């Protein structure tokens, strides 16, 4: 590895990332992500705020048993309190209790924040920084100093902010991290100020950068800081973090390696695992992957219709800035009313049907897509329904099951073993959803009924009840999302609605679509497509 081009990666997903609303990692989940980050090869993993809660205390005990190969675990804390004895300070004791070799302490580097927020003197804040770092160094800790509110403070009072940094450096800090805590400093300012600070220190590996994404420029600001000499970058996987998030380490690492020629991971070849890591952390954090996330999103290299798709089919580099497999992703063609025959043919070939479906038949499929999308369908959002449209054009295609009839009842005055509803006066009362269905499969007609928590749930349960004897594998299928959208609202309650259903098993996730002016029919169309796609895939 070329050490001159080395940029250090410091992940704070387990601490700063969990400050995002809706993210709450358990101890076991934090350990799972730790191991995944170590496999990727990041340099430092900030495990949590030492002493702040029992979960983080237990994390620092348990993480010692992971036998990490590439990463160092860091405990996070803050400088001693104002006018307090360092060795007896609760924050310093907490850092020591974590028993990590590396510690990060945050301290104010803004005169305004010192006087107005923590309400102490500028001199005492300097003492707090110096005393805390010196004491931790005496305890054989490697100390990183997070200069909180640095950029805002520097713009208001540069002499004092610089004094805070030099105090930390002289006390023995191994890294000094410039923090854009409020996320309001733009990339050009970050770059210019970072360059000034780097020139103040005769140490090429001392300065780091920590940006927040409140102006949607955290990644750009991080890259600008590196371009100006910053050695360490901090951020979170998928850009998680408080308010609008932190710098997205996925994009930062990809850009540093592929665009700026930097060495970031223990093995630069590991960037091919970025997509896998991104999706893994999303899954563990119970957050849906963002399909349009740069580099790793499902649609990051998806081409939809028109000259973009046509150009891609001639030469992928014509509309892609990198080879997707460099970050573990892949290209795809999105099929919609904008698509031409070439795009449909590509999809057919990807299904292994290129030698079966003729060019003329592909043209018919293309026209069918356009007609259906004019009636409310959206095949670019529903890969399973699109594949079924292609499979159904095969001369020997046989449906796995055929709907004969169904009836759905929703009542709110009598019996129910499922859900509850609310009267106008706020009191609770039972609601029943029941579906009766006739399905033909294997030349047999199954007539069943089932209740559900809502009409779609009842339909799903009734369909499974009818199919389970013929296709026991359907027990693997889970409905993971259900989205309804009014396609044309001018007709009020008679408007066409589009229903998208996301399903998954233990291997894949797929989406199906239905459209109708009747929401129950639209739901059935999407529901049946989901199950039929699964049965076809399972039989291949």
Where does residue 469 rank: exposed (0-12), middle (13-18), buried (19+ CB within 10 A)? exposed
Asked if residue 429 lies in contact with residue 396, where contact means CB atoms within 8 angstroms, the answer is no
For tokens 């209740």, what's the residue? 451
Tokens of 10: 């410091």
For residue 38, give the nearest of 273, 216, 245 by alpha carbon. Answer: 273
How many Cβ atoms sit within 10 Å of the Cβ of residue 374? 9
Q: How far apart are CA 431 and CA 419, in angstroms?
A: 6
- The answer on pLDDT for 238 being more than 80 is yes
CATH class of 402-539: alpha beta
pLDDT mean over 116-137: 95
The CA distance from 299 to 380, in Å, is: 10
Q: For residue 507, count CB atoms less than 10 angstroms from its CB and return exposed for 0-12, middle for 13-18, buried for 19 or more.
A: exposed
Smallest CA-to-CA distance from 95 within 73, 122, 70, 120 is with 73
Going from N- to C-terminal start, the domains of the chain cover 3-284, 302-352, 402-539
Confidence of residue 494 (pLDDT cuts 50, 70, 90): low
Closest CA to 235 of 68, 45, 103, 95: 45
- Estimate to the nearest angstrom the gap between the alpha carbon of 371 and the chain centroid: 34
CA neighbor of 54 nearest in space, from 62, 45, 43:
62
Residue 22: count of CB within 10 angstroms of its CB:
8
Whole-number pLDDT of residue 1: 43
**In this predicted structure, what is the pLDDT of residue 159?**
96
CATH number of 3-284: 3.20.20.70
- Smallest Cα–Cα separation from 159: which of 196, 206, 186? 196
Ranges of beta strands (E only) in 238-349 are 302-304, 332-334
Selection from 134-148, 271-285, 339-353 with the highest mean pLDDT: 134-148
Q: What is the mean pLDDT of residues 183-189?
A: 95
C-alpha Rg value of the chain to the nearest Å:
29
- Ranges 131-145, 183-197, 300-314, 426-440: which has the least confidence: 300-314
Show the tokens assigned to 440.
């033909």
In this predicted structure, the answer to whether residue 268 has a pLDDT above a threshold of 80 is no
The SS3 of residue 523 is: helix
Burial class (CB in 10 A: 0-12, 13-18, 19+), 286: exposed
Cα angle: 508, vertex 267, 195; to 5 degrees: 110
The whole-number pLDDT of residue 240 equals 95
pLDDT band at residue 181 using 50, 70 and 90 as cut-offs: very high
Q: Are 498 and 484 in contact (CB under 8 A)?
A: yes
Q: What's the pLDDT tens digit per position in 211-237?
A: 999 999 999 999 999 999 999 999 999
- Scanning the structure block, which residue is given the tokens 């069943």? 448
Residue 328 CA to residue 326 CA, distance in Å, equals 6
DSSP string of 419-487, one letter each residue? EEEE-TTS-EEEEEEEEEEEEEETTEEEEEEEEESSHHHHHHHHHHHHHTTT-GGGGG-EEEEEEEEES
Average pLDDT for 150-158: 95
Q: Band of the pLDDT at 359, cuts 50, 70, 90? A: confident
* CA angle 255–256–258, rounded 5-degree value: 60
Phi first, then psi: give them for residue 453, nearest 5 degrees.
-85, 75
Length of the chain as a residue count: 540
Using CA atoms, how far residue 417 sits from 137, 305, 430, 451, 459, in Å, is 64, 48, 8, 8, 16
The model's pLDDT over 24-46, given as tens digits with 9 standing for 90+, comes to 888 999 999 999 999 999 999 99
Query: Is the fold of 3-284 the same as that of 402-539?
Result: no
Q: Answer yes or no: are the C-beta atoms of 183 and 215 closer than 8 Å.
A: yes
> Cα separation of 239 and 250, whole Å?
8
Q: What is the mean pLDDT of the chain?
A: 87
- State the Cα–Cα distance between residues 373 and 523, nearest whole angstrom: 16
Rounded average pLDDT over 313-333: 75
Instruction: Report yes or no: 351 and 332 within 8 Å, Cβ to Cβ.
Output: no
- Helical ranges in 53-185 per DSSP H: 54-62, 90-97, 111-112, 122-138, 150-156, 158-171
| pTM, two decimal places | 0.73
């Amino acid at each position: 590895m070329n050490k001159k081009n080395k940029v250090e990666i410091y992940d704070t997903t387990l601490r700063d990332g969990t400050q995002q609303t809706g993210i709450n990692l358990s101890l076991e989940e934090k350990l799972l992500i730790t191991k995944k980050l170590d496999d990727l090869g990041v340099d430092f993993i900030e495990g949590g705020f030492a002493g702040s809660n029992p979960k983080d205390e237990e994390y620092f005990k348990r993480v010692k048993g992971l036998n990490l190969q590439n990463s160092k675990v860091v405990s996070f804390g803050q400088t001693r309190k104002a006018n307090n004895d360092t060795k007896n300070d609760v924050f310093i004791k907490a850092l020591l209790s974590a028993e990590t070799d590396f510690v990060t302490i945050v301290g104010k580097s803004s005169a305004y924040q010192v006087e107005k927020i923590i309400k102490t003197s500028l001199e005492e804040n300097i003492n707090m920084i110096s005393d805390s770092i010196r004491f931790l160094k005496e305890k054989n800790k490697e100390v990183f100093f997070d200069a909180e509110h640095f950029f805002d403070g520097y713009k208001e009072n540069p002499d004092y902010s610089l004094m805070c940094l030099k105090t930390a450096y002289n006390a023995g800090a191994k890294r000094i991290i410039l923090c854009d805590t409020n996320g309001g400093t733009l990339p050009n300012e970050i770059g210019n100020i970072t360059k000034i600070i780097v020139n103040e220190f005769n140490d090429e590996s001392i300065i780091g950068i920590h940006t927040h994404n409140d102006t949607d420029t955290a990644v750009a600001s991080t890259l600008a800081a590196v371009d100006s000499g910053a050695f360490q970058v901090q951020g979170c996987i998928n850009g998680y973090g408080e308010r609008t998030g932190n710098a997205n380490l996925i994009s930062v690492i990809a850009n540093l390696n592929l665009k700026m020629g930097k060495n970031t991971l223990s093995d630069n070849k590991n960037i091919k695992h970025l997509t896998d890591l991104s999706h893994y952390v999303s899954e563990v954090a119970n957050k849906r992957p963002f399909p349009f996330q740069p580099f790793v999103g499902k649609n990051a290299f998806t081409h939809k219709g028109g000259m973009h798709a046509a150009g891609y089919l001639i030469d992928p580099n014509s509309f892609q800035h990198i080879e997707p497999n460099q970050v573990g992703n892949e290209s795809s063609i999105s099929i919609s009313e904008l698509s031409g025959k070439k795009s449909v043919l590509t999809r057919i070939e990807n299904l292994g049907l290129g030698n079966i479906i003729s060019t003329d038949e592909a043209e018919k499929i293309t026209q069918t897509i356009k007609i259906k999308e004019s009636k409310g369908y959206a095949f670019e959002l529903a890969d399973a329904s699109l594949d079924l449209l292609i499979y159904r054009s095969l001369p020997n295609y046989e449906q796995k099951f055929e709907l004969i009839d169904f009836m759905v009842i929703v009542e709110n005055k009598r019996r129910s073993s499922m859900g509850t509803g609310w009267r106008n006066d706020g009191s609770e009362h039972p609601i029943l959803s029941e579906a009766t269905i006739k399905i033909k499969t294997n030349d047999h007609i199954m007539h069943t009924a089932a209740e559900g928590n809502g009409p779609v749930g009842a339909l799903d349960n009734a369909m499974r009840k009818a199919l389970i004897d013929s296709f026991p594998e359907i027990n693997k299928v889970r409905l993971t999302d259900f989205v309804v959208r009014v396609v044309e609202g001018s007709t009020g309650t008679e408007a066409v609605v589009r229903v998208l259903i996301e399903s998954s098993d233990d291997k894949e996730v797929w989406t199906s679509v239905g459209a109708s002016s009747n929401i129950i029919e639209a739901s059935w169309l999407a529901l049946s497509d989901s199950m039929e796609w699964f049965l076809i895939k399972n039989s291949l």
